[in-house]
């Protein structure tokens, strides 16, 4: 049954902005899908609001819509493009929900669009808890008994709850029906808790109903990735075992593939049930993910849930096995059967098989709790991690060691030099799952805790704990050894020890261990991920290192360029950098080089084995990169290593790599250092006649205080050498400065604190440019919507700039050129400026690809990272202009009347985090970056472009209703005009007393409302927080007073903002943001909202400025 010929155009929906729980993996899956569908001759129409994705590159679809993934927008696109079919199983929950909404509202029927991949019925059966339970319970008997879901009882009184718990046995989970965000649910371990939580739950439920469910907390957790075609052939692609037992979201768990602690009997039972489920749910063509829990002492198996679509785990499973789930899912969705699709890796065998692994894969999550200091770090069933690293080794210990060092968190690898601590305290600490638990488990073992004790405390399977114990024993052996014999060294490496860990145990340096290792010939070999445990020869060079005996690398004909990727996603370094790395790989392959990618992030397109000529799935540490460089140098010429596209991760390695003899192409490590080093950079600015805000550097509070006095408060303080504004704050006085320095763990004599004058009311500008040593090419000039002081990664921005004068633009050009030249850039540079009055200040310059490269590339229809790669390899800008890679005469800064306005808006994860007391974390913006992702709005005018950005970021932009206004004194006079405009647009205004009286003085009618701290009035007059909770407020405008950040103050503003997060009311915290919102609301009110594809914009842009 070959491809379907009755459909010719297919709409693919992406997953939108990166949010916690839905990240780059859907760019990977969507990119694969678009690619194979086009190869098969279908017209592909893509909708995805996220510009930082590869899939939204114009060449991946016939029509690419960077429009909000929101039913009304998607309907407009359907009406315009009239696709035959809709494929929504590759864009995460976002795409699935949108497809269901379009079906339910009749849009799909109206336009005759067929949903392919999974039917609406199948989606609902898989997603709805009760329906899914019914499906599981009605499956036929299996060899090892029937399939079960967790037992539960619906209760309407406290007596019924007690009865149910007697039947199910404590502990039980209580879930009140119809409450929002899990309010009132919890675990009851004893009768007292049962009574208390039960009563709260019954109260919280509007229908006085509580579901009492047996607890499967602490059970072993597994996942299967299952794939089915329309001929009903089913294969299980991968099994995954969670190191952390039930209770921790799989996205937050350390996971291992394949399953390590199942006999064949249990595994086959799980497989049988998984296959029966995909059939019963009715996922006809495509993949799904099914989760299971197994009781560690009885083996009783419970089906937990399924995702009737490609998921985060599918991406992991694809990377872990070499079986490209999304690609195959797209193929089977258009009618192919699994046996008709070749296995890419072997080329000679079909995709209708089950991958078998001769290695172990470990995935570890990466968290960002440091960005949300008040958030509760306990891991629960609610996902909190922002990224992940994966590693492959020939055994668990090797993979685990590699995975932990891939996280780039110095606390992640086991630290055997650290004092052990108290056993009982450690055993207590590991009883609660949190980031860093595995390290404390190791500490506990180091105090002499037994495997049984650690198992008792954590519920982790004893096989895994024994593996940790083996690592610990090996560490003891290394420590006790007089010298390091080749055998011992090899054994240590074979079990995942890094040079640094060995060095720590021997009180020496990693460099010396490396030299010793090399002298003794202890080096890794490179194996291949081949889907079949070597049964057939692999044609795809997808490699991982192992301290095993034989290497499988082959010689190359072409010179190679090694691209160092960006590692695990984190706040401040995400998919945007992967985008640039992938572009480098593409352009290098097209230009006579073998592109070699090194990365450890399983979510990304860069770690798709299809992306580069060679892929090394490896940690991005000096040790691992040097080994790859050495191994590849044996295979052919290496033209160089690219470090400036993957963000801070590879950049940090640049100097050490160069010192070790590695050839770095593009901007030299010295130039990179020069831009980072304040003094040297100041001299560059001085020479060019440029100014930066007054600043100084300090190693202690006393020094910092002196600097601050000289500059004048407020000052911006931050540790040097960090990305994403990590640890950055605006402080307004000495006391706050002292608190900041006392609390910072990032400040040391080697990394002093930087103190800058903070520019109030300045416009912030972001510039991306390309420099070849001679000519400057401005990629784009972006103007931030929020004023200076909000981290550039958290600020919305527009391209072209909204308010800059021609003179200012000219000054930006000359300044950028001067800096690029002065620093010695060869490739990309990103510069942030602040315009205060008439003065242009240089805030910082980064000689590397920035977060905004994909946005700029899409806004200007010019692929800057590709051009930059060629510049690094020696091309001039003039040549690239000639080749059509860059605009022939102008550059990205050109503006013309009627040009499209591109707006970048960001996504925040505030709704993911709660404080220990259970309230939301503060959503106020500051100099520390906290957004996880971005969207793009494209329109002919600023207002609509901004509005599209808001809608795309899932902000419920109101076009009428009630707005609540409460602002800091310094902002009061600036809000008069925007508030007046809102009234003209038909809004009713509520304000706190102070704000209301200022507005009244200007003749604006605002109804005063009680602050949270004023409490409910004597006659029941509600506070603003109560009004928000009642859903009576449609828009909140609240600027923080006193410059507090980080959410440490329980002030009125905090209560308002957290209520806004909880009840999902749009909340604006800056005046400039309000002004933009007014324009956006105006644009939406006119109703003249059109959708335009990137290809259409591109043609227009190219015509306007060749």
# residues contacting other proteins (CB under 8 A)? 57
Residues 6+ apart with CB under 8 A from 392: 320, 359, 360, 361, 399, 402, 529, 544, 617
Residue 793 to residues 130, 302, 786, 943: CA-CA distances in angstroms? 41, 43, 11, 21
Q: Does residue 828 contact residue 868 with C-beta atoms inside 8 Å?
A: yes
Which residue lies nearer to other proteins by CB, 477 or 1021? Answer: 477
Which residue lies nearer to other proteins by CB, 102 or 147? Answer: 147
Instruction: Please report whether residue 535 would count as binding other proteins according to CB under 8 A.
Output: yes
- The candidate with the shortest Cα–Cα distance to 818, out of 804, 833, 803, is 833
Which residue lies nearer to other proteins by CB, 207 or 537? Answer: 537
Q: Does residue 973 contact residue 998 with C-beta atoms inside 8 Å?
A: yes
Contact pick of 360, 767, 770, 1056 for other proteins (by CB under 8 A): 360
Q: Does residue 43 contact residue 910 with C-beta atoms inside 8 Å?
A: no
Contact mark string toward other proteins, 139..178, x via CB under 8 A: ----x-----------------------------------
Instruction: Please report whether residue 1102 would count as binding other proteins according to CB under 8 A.
Output: no
- Give SS3 for 449: coil
- The candidate with the shortest Cα–Cα distance to 239, out of 266, 218, 209, 208, is 266
CB-side neighbour CA atoms (13 Å) of 825: 32
Q: What are the structure tokens assigned to 243, written together?
A: 């190191």
Q: How many CB atoms lie within 10 A of CB 828?
A: 30
Instruction: Please report whether residue 675 would count as binding other proteins according to CB under 8 A.
Output: no
Which residue lies nearer to other proteins by CB, 258 or 800? Answer: 258
Instruction: Please report whether residue 681 would count as binding other proteins according to CB under 8 A.
Output: no
CA dihedral 706, 707, 709, 710 (to 10 degrees): 120
- The candidate with the shortest Cα–Cα distance to 310, out of 293, 286, 294, 290, is 286
Contact pick of 11, 123, 174, 532 for other proteins (by CB under 8 A): 532
Question: Smallest distance from the beta carbon of 543 to other proteins, in angstroms?
Answer: 13
Whose tokens are 């209560």? That residue is 1055
Which residue lies nearer to other proteins by CB, 25 or 398? Answer: 398
Instruction: Please report whether residue 726 would count as binding other proteins according to CB under 8 A.
Output: no
Residues in a beta bridge with 964: 990, 1036
- The candidate with the shortest Cα–Cα distance to 558, out of 581, 587, 591, is 591
Contact pick of 258, 387, 822, 827 for other proteins (by CB under 8 A): 258
Tell me the window of 296-304, 406-414, 899-907, 1092-1100 that interacts with other proteins (CB under 8 A).
Answer: 296-304
Q: Does residue 793 contact residue 832 with C-beta atoms inside 8 Å?
A: no
Residues in a beta bridge with 363: 255, 390
Contact pick of 394, 493, 652, 718 for other proteins (by CB under 8 A): 394
Contact pick of 201, 355, 1040, 1046 for other proteins (by CB under 8 A): 355
- The candidate with the shortest Cα–Cα distance to 852, out of 923, 910, 778, is 778
Contact pick of 82, 134, 265, 1002 for other proteins (by CB under 8 A): 265
- Give SS3 for 884: coil
- The candidate with the shortest Cα–Cα distance to 949, out of 860, 859, 861, is 859
Which residue lies nearer to other proteins by CB, 271 or 446? Answer: 271
Instruction: Please report whether residue 260 would count as binding other proteins according to CB under 8 A.
Output: yes
Whose tokens are 């086009």? That residue is 38
Q: Does residue 690 contact residue 818 with C-beta atoms inside 8 Å?
A: yes
Please report the DSSP string for 542-557 in residue order: EEEEESSS-------S
Rounded Cα–Cα distance for residues 627 and 530 (Å):
22
Instruction: Please report whether residue 1013 would count as binding other proteins according to CB under 8 A.
Output: no
Q: What are the structure tokens assigned to 725, written together?
A: 């504004």
End-to-end CA distance of the chain: 47
Instruction: Please report whether residue 536 would count as binding other proteins according to CB under 8 A.
Output: yes
Strand-strand pairing, 961-966 and 987-991: parallel
Tell me the window of 336-344, 401-409, 686-694, 885-893 that interacts with other proteins (CB under 8 A).
Answer: 336-344
Instruction: Please report whether residue 461 would count as binding other proteins according to CB under 8 A.
Output: yes
Instruction: Please report whether residue 548 would count as binding other proteins according to CB under 8 A.
Output: yes
Rounded Cα–Cα distance for residues 755 and 716 (Å):
6
Question: Smallest distance from the beta carbon of 336 to other proteins, in angstroms?
Answer: 13
Which residue lies nearer to other proteins by CB, 457 or 690? Answer: 457
Rounded Cα–Cα distance for residues 394 and 450 (Å):
26
Instruction: Please report whether residue 493 would count as binding other proteins according to CB under 8 A.
Output: no
Strand-strand pairing, 63-65 and 43-47: parallel
Which residue lies nearer to other proteins by CB, 66 or 460? Answer: 460
Instruction: Please report whether residue 527 would count as binding other proteins according to CB under 8 A.
Output: yes
Question: Smallest distance from the beta carbon of 399 to other proteins, in angstroms?
Answer: 10
Contact pick of 60, 359, 367, 577 for other proteins (by CB under 8 A): 359
Question: Smallest distance from the beta carbon of 299 to other proteins, in angstroms?
Answer: 5
DSSP letter (8 states) at residue 667: S
Which residue lies nearer to other proteins by CB, 82 or 265? Answer: 265
Contact pick of 139, 154, 217, 451 for other proteins (by CB under 8 A): 451
Which residue lies nearer to other proteins by CB, 359 or 777? Answer: 359
Tell me the window of 261-269, 743-751, 850-858, 1006-1014 that interacts with other proteins (CB under 8 A).
Answer: 261-269
Tell me the window of 392-400, 853-861, 900-908, 912-920 that interacts with other proteins (CB under 8 A).
Answer: 392-400
State which of positions 871-930 bind other proteins (CB under 8 A). none
Instruction: Please report whether residue 459 would count as binding other proteins according to CB under 8 A.
Output: no
Which residue lies nearer to other proteins by CB, 533 or 1000? Answer: 533
Which residue lies nearer to other proteins by CB, 323 or 1012? Answer: 323
Question: Smallest distance from the beta carbon of 954 to other proteins, in angstroms?
Answer: 41
Which residue lies nearer to other proteins by CB, 495 or 583? Answer: 495
Which residue lies nearer to other proteins by CB, 219 or 416? Answer: 219
Peptide bond into 171 cis (omega under 30): yes
Rounded Cα–Cα distance for residues 243 and 79 (Å):
48
Spell out where 606-694 has E strands: 614-617, 638-642
Instruction: Please report whether residue 262 would count as binding other proteins according to CB under 8 A.
Output: yes
Instruction: Please report whether residue 986 would count as binding other proteins according to CB under 8 A.
Output: no
Which residue lies nearer to other proteins by CB, 264 or 482? Answer: 264
Instruction: Please report whether residue 296 would count as binding other proteins according to CB under 8 A.
Output: yes
State which of positions 792-821 bind other proteins (CB under 8 A). none
- The candidate with the shortest Cα–Cα distance to 827, out of 991, 650, 1025, 660, is 650
Strand-strand pairing, 729-731 and 715-719: antiparallel
Question: Smallest distance from the beta carbon of 695 to other proteins, in angstroms?
Answer: 54
Tell me the window of 374-382, 458-466, 579-587, 803-811 that interacts with other proteins (CB under 8 A).
Answer: 458-466
Whose tokens are 């709660």? That residue is 914
State which of positions 225-244 bind other proteins (CB under 8 A). 231-233, 235-236
Helix runs in 323-436, H state only = 325-333, 396-406, 423-429
Q: How many CB atoms lie within 10 A of CB 348?
A: 10
Q: How many CB atoms lie within 10 A of CB 148?
A: 16
Question: Smallest distance from the beta carbon of 316 to other proteins, in angstroms?
Answer: 17
Tell me the window of 530-538, 590-598, 939-947, 954-962 that interacts with other proteins (CB under 8 A).
Answer: 530-538
Instruction: Please report whether residue 534 would count as binding other proteins according to CB under 8 A.
Output: yes
Which residue lies nearer to other proteins by CB, 141 or 482? Answer: 141
Which residue lies nearer to other proteins by CB, 235 or 625? Answer: 235
Interface ranges with other proteins (CB under 8 A): 143, 231-233, 235-236, 258-265, 267-268, 271-272, 296-299, 337-339, 348-350, 352-360, 394-396, 451, 461-463, 466, 470, 527, 532-537, 548-550, 552
């Amino acid at each position: 049954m070959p491809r379907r010929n009755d459909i010719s155009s297919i709409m693919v929906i992406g997953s939108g902005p990166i949010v916690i729980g839905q990240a780059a993996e859907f760019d990977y899956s969507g990119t694969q899908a678009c690619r194979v569908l086009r190869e098969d001759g279908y017209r592909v129409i893509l909708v995805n609001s996220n510009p930082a994705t590869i899939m939204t590159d114009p060449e991946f679809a016939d029509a690419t819509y960077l429009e909000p993934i929101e039913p009304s927008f998607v309907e407009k696109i359907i009406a315009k493009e009239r696709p035959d079919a809709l494929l929504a199983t590759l864009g995460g929950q976002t795409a699935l929900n949108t497809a269901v909404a379009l079906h339910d509202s009749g849009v799909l029927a109206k336009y005759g669009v067929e949903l392919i991949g999974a039917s609406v019925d199948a989606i609902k059966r898989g997603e709805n808890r009760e329906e899914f339970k019914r499906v599981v319970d009605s499956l036929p008997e299996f060899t090892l008994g029937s399939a079960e879901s967790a037992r539960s009882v619906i209760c309407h009184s406290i007596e019924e709850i007690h009865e149910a718990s007697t039947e199910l046995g404590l502990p039980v989970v209580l879930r009140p029906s119809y409450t929002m965000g899990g309010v009132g649910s919890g675990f009851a371990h004893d009768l007292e808790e049962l009574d208390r939580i039960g009563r709260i739950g019954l109260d919280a439920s509007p229908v006085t109903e509580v579901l009492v469910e047996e607890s499967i907390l602490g059970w072993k957790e597994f996942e299967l990735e299952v794939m089915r075609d329309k001929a009903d052939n089913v294969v299980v692609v991968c099994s995954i075992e969670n190191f952390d037992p039930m209770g921790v979201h799989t996205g937050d768990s350390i996971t291992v593939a394949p399953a390590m602690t199942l006999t064949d009997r249990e595994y086959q039972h799980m497989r049988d049930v998984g296959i029966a489920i995909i059939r019963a749910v009715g996922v006809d063509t495509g993949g799904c993910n099914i989760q299971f829990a197994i009781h560690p002492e009885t083996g009783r198996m419970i089906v937990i849930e399924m995702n009737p679509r490609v998921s985060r785990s599918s991406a992991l499973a694809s990377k872990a096995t070499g079986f490209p789930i999304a690609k195959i899912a797209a193929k089977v969705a258009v009618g192919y059967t699994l046996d008709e699709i070749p296995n890419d890796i072997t080329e000679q065998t079909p995709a209708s098989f089950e991958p078998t692994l001769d290695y172990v894969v470990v995935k570890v999550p990466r968290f960002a709790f440091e960005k949300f200091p008040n958030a509760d770090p306990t891991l629960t069933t609610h996902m909190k991690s922002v990224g992940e690293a994966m590693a492959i080794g020939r055994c668990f210990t090797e993979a685990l060691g590699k995975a932990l060092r891939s996280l780039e968190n110095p606390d992640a690898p086991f630290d055997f030099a650290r004092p052990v601590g108290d056993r009982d305290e450690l055993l207590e600490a590991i009883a609660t799952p949190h980031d860093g638990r595995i390290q404390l488990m190791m500490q506990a073992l180091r105090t002499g805790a037994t495997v049984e004790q650690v198992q008792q405390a954590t519920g982790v399977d004893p096989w895994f704990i024994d593996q940790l114990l083996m690592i610990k024993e090996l560490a003891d052996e290394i420590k006790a050894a007089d010298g390091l014999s080749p055998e011992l060294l090899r054994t240590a490496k074979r079990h995942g020890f890094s040079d640094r860990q060995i060095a720590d145990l021997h009180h020496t340096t990693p460099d010396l261990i490396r030299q010793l290792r090399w002298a003794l010939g202890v080096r890794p070999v490179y194996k291949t991920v081949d889907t079949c445990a070597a049964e057939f020869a692999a044609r795809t060079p997808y490699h991982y290192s192992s301290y095993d005996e034989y290497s499988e690398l082959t010689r190359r004909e072409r010179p190679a360029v090694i691209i160092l990727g960006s590692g695990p996603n984190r706040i401040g370094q995400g998919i945007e950098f992967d985008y640039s790395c992938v572009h480098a790989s593409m352009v290098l392959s097209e230009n006579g080089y073998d592109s070699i990618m090194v990365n450890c992030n399983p979510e990304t397109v860069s770690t798709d084995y299809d992306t580069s000529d060679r892929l090394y799935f490896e940690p991005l540490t000096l040790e691992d990169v040097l080994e790859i460089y050495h191994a590849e140098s044996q295979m052919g010429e290496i033209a160089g290593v690219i470090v400036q596209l993957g963000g801070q991760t590879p950049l940090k390695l640049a100097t050490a790599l160069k010192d070790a003899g590695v050839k770095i192409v593009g901007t030299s490590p010295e130039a990179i250092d020069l831009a980072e080093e304040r003094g040297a950079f100041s001299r560059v600015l001085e020479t060019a006649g440029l100014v930066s805000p007054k600043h100084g550097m300090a190693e202690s509070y006393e020094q910092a205080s002196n600097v601050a006095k000289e500059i004048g408060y407020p000052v911006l303080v931050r540790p040097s050498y960090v990305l994403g504004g990590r640890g950055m704050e605006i402080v307004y006085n000495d006391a706050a400065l002292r608190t900041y320095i006392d609390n910072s763990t990032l400040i040391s004599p080697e990394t002093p604190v930087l103190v800058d004058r903070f520019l109030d009311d300045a416009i912030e500008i972001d510039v991306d440019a390309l420099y070849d040593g001679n000519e400057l090419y401005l990629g784009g000039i972006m103007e931030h919507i929020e004023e200076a002081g909000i981290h550039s990664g958290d600020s919305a921005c527009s391209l072209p700039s909204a308010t800059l004068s021609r003179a200012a633009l000219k000054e930006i050009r000359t300044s950028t050129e001067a800096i690029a030249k002065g620093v010695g850039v060869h490739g990309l540079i990103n510069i942030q400026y602040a315009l205060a009055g008439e003065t242009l200040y240089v805030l910082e310059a980064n000689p590397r690809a920035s977060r905004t490269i994909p946005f700029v590339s899409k806004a200007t229809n010019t692929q800057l990272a590709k051009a930059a790669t060629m510049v690094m390899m020696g091309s001039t800008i003039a040549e690239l202009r000639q080749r059509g890679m860059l605009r022939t005469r102008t550059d990205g800064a050109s503006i013309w009347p009627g040009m499209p306005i591109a707006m970048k808006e960001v996504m925040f994860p505030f709704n993911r985090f709660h404080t220990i007391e259970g309230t939301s974390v503060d959503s106020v913006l500051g100099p520390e970056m906290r957004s996880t992702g971005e969207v793009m709005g494209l329109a002919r005018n600023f207002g609509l472009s901004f509005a599209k950005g808001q809608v795309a970021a899932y902000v419920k932009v109101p076009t009428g209703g009630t707005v609540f206004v409460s602002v800091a004194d310094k902002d009061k006079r600036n809000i008069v005009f925007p508030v007046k405009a809102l009234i003209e647009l038909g809004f009713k205004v509520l304000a706190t007393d102070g704000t209301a009286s200022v507005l009244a003085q200007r003749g604006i009618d605002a109804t005063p409302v009680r602050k949270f701290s004023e409490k409910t009035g004597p006659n029941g007059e509600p506070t603003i927080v109560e009004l928000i909770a009642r859903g009576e407020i449609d828009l909140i405008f609240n600027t923080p007073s006193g410059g507090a950040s980080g959410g440490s103050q329980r002030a009125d503003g905090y209560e308002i903002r957290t209520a806004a997060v909880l009840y999902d009311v749009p909340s604006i915290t800056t005046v400039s943001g309000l002004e933009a919102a007014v324009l956006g609301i105006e644009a939406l009110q006119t109703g003249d909202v059109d959708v335009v594809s990137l290809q259409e914009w591109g043609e227009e842009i190219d015509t306007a400025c060749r």
